[in-house]
Structure 1
Amino acid sequence: MTELYSSTPTALSRRTTLRAAGGGTLLLGLGLTGCRSAVSEAEAPAGKAATEPERGGTLTVAINSDFTPSLLFAQSGQSLQQRLIYNTLTRYDDQLKPQPELATSWEYAKDGRSITLKLRTGVTYHDGRPFTADDVIFAVKNLQNPVRASQLRATAAAVAGFEKHGDHELVLKLAHPVNNLFDLFEFMILTDRNSVEDAVTGKKLNGTGPFKLTKWSPGAGLGFIRNEKYWQPDRPYLDAVEFRVVPQADALLSSLRTGQSQLSFDVPGNNLATVATTPDLALGEYATGAGALYLGVNTTVAPLNDKTVRQALAWGIDRERILKQVLGGHGLASATPWPKSSPAFTEAGRTHYTYDPGKARELLKSAGHSRLDLPLLHLGLPGDTAVAEAIQYDLKQIGVQVTLQPTDPATAQKKLISQSMPALWTMGHGFAQVQPSTLAVSAYPFNEAKNTSKFRSAAYTKVVREAWTTPATGARANALRQQITDTLLDEAFIIDLVIRGSVQVSAKKLHGVTLNKFAYLNLDDAYLAG
C-alpha cells in the first residue's frame, strides 16, 4: 500500500537572489522546484516570523493574457488559476513522488493494470455538494472526450473501467500499464460534473478549491474570494485574490514596483534586472523551468519535409543569444526539451545543436537551397515577439528570409491543437517537467500519434509507446528516453531553443506561494505580512 503522506503543503524553500547584471544568473537545478515556493521565509519583515502567518488581505496577481474558458482542460499559458478553484487528486514533491490531495492513499495492483484510490471525506464543492468517487469518474471521462482538447487525453483513455467501493474508494482499471498516471492525477482538475458546460464558457466555475470565483471580466481579469468551507482547516489565509490582465510589459512591471500588484510570473527576462534592484520586490526561480521555447516546423510544407533542411535551421539559431538578450540569462540554452530536473536530461543532448551558421548554410546547399522564404507565426506579446525577431535575424544569416505573423495566445493555441500552423511557428511547450513519456504522448508539438508538425514515424511511435508502458526507473527506461531524445534531435520537427526560467516576482511581504508541476498557482498557505 502506498504510504499515507501528510497532506500539509510543502514548506517554503530558500529564496534565490538573482544577479542584477545584464546576463543574470543561471538558477535551474538549484533546489527551487515546481511544487515549492520561490520566496523564502527569511524574507519576512523585521520582527515578524514567517512561521506566524497573518490572516486577511487581497493579493493582486499581474498576468499578461486573459483567462480562456474554452481551454479549461488543456494546459496553456492561462492555467495559473486552476488550483485556486479546483483541487487535484495528488501533487508531486520535489522528487516526482506523489503526495495526497483529494486522494489520501493509493495501491497499485501487482500487474500494474489497476489502482485503488481512497478519497478524502468531508470535501464539498463551492455550491455545497459533497465530493465523491463519481466526481473522479466524471473527471477522467471528461478528459477522454476529444472536445476537451486535453493533452493528457491518451493517459485518461488508458483508464478502461471503474469500480466504486462506496463514495470514497475507487478502483481505476487500466487497459495497459502506464508510468505517468500521477501526471494525470496532478493535471486533472476535479471540476463539477453538473456545470461543466457552464465552466467552459466561463459562466460558472464550481470547484472544491480554496477560493471561489466571483467575477470574470473578459480582457480585465478574474476575482476570487476565500472559500470559508475549504476542507483544509484554517486555510486559506487570504480573503481575496485578484488577477489583473496587464498585457504591456512596462505597465506590468510598473504595477509590481508601485505595489498595485504583489505577484507575477510574466515579467520578461530582460526586465528582471530592474526588478532585482527594487527594494520591496523579491525574485525566485523554480528548477523545473517554465517550459521551453521552440521553433516548430510544419513537415508537410516543402522543403521542410526534408530533415536536412530542418537540421540546418537547428544549427542556424543562436540559443545563447536568445537566453541572454531576451530572457536576461534566466534559463538554459538547450537543443532538447528536458530541464535539468528531468531524468531524461543529458548534457550531450542539450548541446547537440550549437550555433554554427556555416554548417547550416552547408546543409541547405547540400539539400539544393541557397535561399528560402517562410512565414513564422508567434504570439504578439513582448517577450514572444523578441524571440521571433531573434529567430528571424539568425535565419536571415543562413539565407532563410522569415516573415513574422503575430497572433493572440488563444488563436495560437487553437492552431496548435488543430494542426493548422504555417511553415514555421515559435511558442513555448510544457510537459518535459514531469515523467518524460508524457511529453511524447501528450504535448501537442510532440504527440507521436498526432502532432502539430504533422510528423509521422512508425519507429517514433514504437519507442514512445514502449517508454510510456515501461516502469519509469531502470536501465530500460533510460535507454528508451535516450531513443526518444535521439529521434527528436535527428528529425528536428520541433527545434528546442531555451528552457525558460520560471521566475516569480513578488512583494517581499508575500509568503507561501507555490506552483505545482503544471504551473497551477497554490495559495493555500499564502499570506501578506504587514
Structure 2
Amino acid sequence: MTESYPSPAAAPSRRTTLRAAGGGTLLLGLGLAGCRSAVSGSESAEKAGAAKPRRGGTVSVAINSDFTPSLLFAQSSQSLQHRLVYNTLTRYDEELTPQPELATSWHYAKDGRSITLELRSGVTFHDGRPFTADDVIFAVKNLQNPARAAQLRATAGVITGFEKQGDHRLVLKLAHRVNNLFDLFEFMIITDRNSVEEALKGTRLNGTGPFRLTKWSPGSSLSFTRNDAYWQQGRPYLDAVEFRVIPQADALVSSLRTGQSQLTFQVPGRNLAVVKSSPGLTVTEYDTGGGAQYLGVNTTVAPLDDRTVRQALAHAVDRERILKQTLGGYGLASAAPWPKSSPAFTEAGRTHYAHDPAKARELLRSAGHTRLDLPLLHLNLPGDTAVAESLQYDLKQVGVHVTLQPTDPATAQKDLISQKMPALWTMSHGFAQVQPSTLAVSAYPFNEAKNTSKYRSAKYTRVVREAWTSPATGAAVNTLHREISDILLDEAFIIDLVIRGNVQVTAKDLHGVTLNKFAYLNLDNAYLAA
C-alpha cells in the first residue's frame, strides 16, 4: 500500500512534502520560513512588478576557474553550468520542499522502502531522443559507479531495484529507509546514457536542459545557445550564455564594472565593497548557507593525530576577523558546519571555539609542543589565498608556522577525493544546507566511511547511520544531529570557519537568476531588461 503525493498540477503543501520525503520522516525540519534563496530582483518579474520579461540577448558569466569535465558528477566550484545543460528530477523551493522538475509527482510506500516517480512526458534530449525511465535508471547507476566520485554515491547505492511501469513511471526500490532521497534527486543531473564518456571528456554534453553547449575553449570560455525544444514552453528567454574564465580578481571585477560580464558568484570578499558601490551592479547573498570555508586536518600526520593539537588549532583561528576582513562581511562565523536554516544549527555549536590564542598555546603545551611547522594547501585563487594568509597569521601567533602551498582547483578537488591532502588545507565545503545526514554520508571532508582527514570512529559511523536511516522526526532526530555536531566539534578533524552562501553579483538589467541548493545555475526565467 502506498501514500500518494502531489500531482503535477498542484504544488505540494509543506506538511505533505515533508512526509513524502521519507515515508513519514522529517526531511529538513520545521521552522525554516526564514530560509530563502536569492533571486536577482528577489522574485519573478511578475511578482516583483518589474517589466515583462523579454526574449533575446546574451548573458556573460564571469568564472574564476575552468570547467573540469572529469568532475561532471561531483559537486564542486566547477558545477555552475550543470543546470544550463541538464535537468534534475526535483528541485527544492525556498523552504526546502521538493518541487517537480523531470519528476512531476511521487509517492512513498508506507514502509519507506520504495518510491514511485511519475516522470514528465514530452521531454527530449538535445539530440532529439525522448527522455524515459531508462534515463533515470542510468543516472542512478552512474552515480553508484565509484569512478564518478559523486558525493551522494552512498544515497544512490541505497537504490537496489528498478521497476518500470511504462516509459514515464518508475518505482525505485530501497535497501533501507533514508531521509535524504530528495537531496539525491536535486543533485543528480540527468545525462544522456549514450554519450556519457564524451561528456566526461567535455566533447559532448547532451542533456534536456534549457541551453546547449556549443563550444568549450579550455582555459578561456564556454558558449551555450538556447534549446528551442525545451520542455518548459516559452523558456528560456535568453538567446545565449557565455562563461568567461577570468582568474584574476581585478580583471573579473573590471569585467563587471565595464559591462563585459553581467553575472558572477566569484568576486573575492575583499573586492565586494568596490562592486557594491558600482551603480550598475547589485550584490545579493544567498542566506541558505550553501557553502562554508574550513581548515582541514590530516589526522594521520603527527602531531595532528592528537585531538588536543587539533582543538588548539580550532581555538587559534579568529573567525570574525576572517569574516570581516577576508570575506567582506558576508557569512556567519561558525565553528560548526550548519547554517541557521538547518535543523542541526545551534548557537552553542556555532560559538564552541572562541578565538582564544592563550588557550590554544596551553593546549599545545599540554600535548608537548611549543612550535610546529606544517604545510597548508590552498586554492590559487584570490579569495582562497586571502583566507589561507589569514590562517597563516592566526596560527603563527600560537607557535604553528605554516608554509602556504597554492594549487589549482581541479587538482585540489581530485586530491581531496583521493585523500592526498597534506597536513593542513583550506577549502570550502557544501552539503550542510540540505538534510543534515547528507553532510556526513556524502561530503568528502566529513564522510563517515571515508573522509579526506582519514578520521574513523565507530561512534561517528553509528550516529551518522542512525540519523540517515531514522524514521524519527522533530526532537528525536535533532538529538542525533546534535550528537553528530558534538563529535565534529570535539574531534576537530574538520575545523569550520565561516558559513557562507553564494554571493551573487548581477548587472541591474539582468533579472530572474537563481541557483539550486547545489549551486547549479538556473537561467530558465532569466532575462535582460530593455
Cα distance per residue 1:356-410 (max 9 Å; x no partner): 0000000000000001000000001000000000000000000001000000000
Cα distance per residue 1:487-516 (max 9 Å; x no partner): 000000000000124211001100000100
In the alignment, what sits opposite 2:379?
379
The amino acid of 2:81's aligned partner reads Q
In the alignment, what sits opposite 1:231?
231
- Tell me if the contact between 1:86 and 1:190 (Cα under 8 Å) persists in the aligned partners: yes
Unaligned runs of 5+ in 2: 13-30
1:17-416 aligned at under 5 Å gives the runs 35-40=37-42, 50=50, 52-416=52-416
In the alignment, what sits opposite 1:524?
524
Change in CA separation of 1:409 and 1:366 when aligned onto 2, cut-off 3 Å? same
After TM superposition, the runs of 4+ consecutive aligned structure 1 residues lying more than 3 A away are 5-10, 29-36, 40-44
Shift of 1:213: 0.3
Shift of 1:51: 5.1
Change in CA separation of 1:171 and 1:9 when aligned onto 2, cut-off 3 Å? closer
In the alignment, what sits opposite 2:22?
none
C-alpha distance in 1 between matches for 2:56 and 2:131: 27
C-alpha distance in 1 between matches for 2:37 and 2:150: 22
Matched, 1:485 2:485: yes
TM-score under structure 1 normalisation? 0.93
Cα distance per residue 1:457-480 (max 9 Å; x no partner): 000000000000013632221000
Change in CA separation of 1:481 and 1:421 when aligned onto 2, cut-off 3 Å? same
- Tell me if the contact between 2:380 and 2:408 (Cα under 8 Å) persists in the aligned partners: yes
Matched, 1:426 2:432: no
C-alpha distance in 2 between matches for 1:9 and 1:220: 41
C-alpha distance in 2 between matches for 1:456 and 1:232: 46
What SS is found at the alignment partner of 1:426? strand
The amino acid of 2:52's aligned partner reads E
Give 1:4's match in structure 2, choosing from 3, 6, 12: 6
The amino acid of 1:500's aligned partner reads R
Cα distance per residue 1:206-265 (max 9 Å; x no partner): 000000000111001210000000000000000000000010000000000000000000
Unaligned runs of 5+ in 1: 11-28
C-alpha distance in 2 between matches for 1:9 and 1:230: 22
Change in CA separation of 1:437 and 1:41 when aligned onto 2, cut-off 3 Å? closer
Shift of 1:277: 1.3
Change in CA separation of 1:227 and 1:445 when aligned onto 2, cut-off 3 Å? same
- Tell me if the contact between 1:39 and 1:282 (Cα under 8 Å) persists in the aligned partners: no
TM-score under structure 2 normalisation? 0.93
Shift of 1:9: 11
- Report percent identity of matched pairs: 77
- Tell me if the contact between 1:139 and 1:189 (Cα under 8 Å) persists in the aligned partners: yes
C-alpha distance in 2 between matches for 1:237 and 1:31: 30
C-alpha distance in 2 between matches for 1:303 and 1:118: 54
Aligned pairs, how many? 509
Shift of 1:31: 7.5
- Tell me if the contact between 1:7 and 1:100 (Cα under 8 Å) persists in the aligned partners: no
Deviates more, 1:83-92 or 1:286-295: 286-295
The amino acid of 1:465's aligned partner reads R
C-alpha distance in 2 between matches for 1:31 and 1:526: 25
* RMSD between superposed Cα atoms in Å: 1.9
What SS is found at the alignment partner of 1:437? helix
Shift of 1:353: 0.4
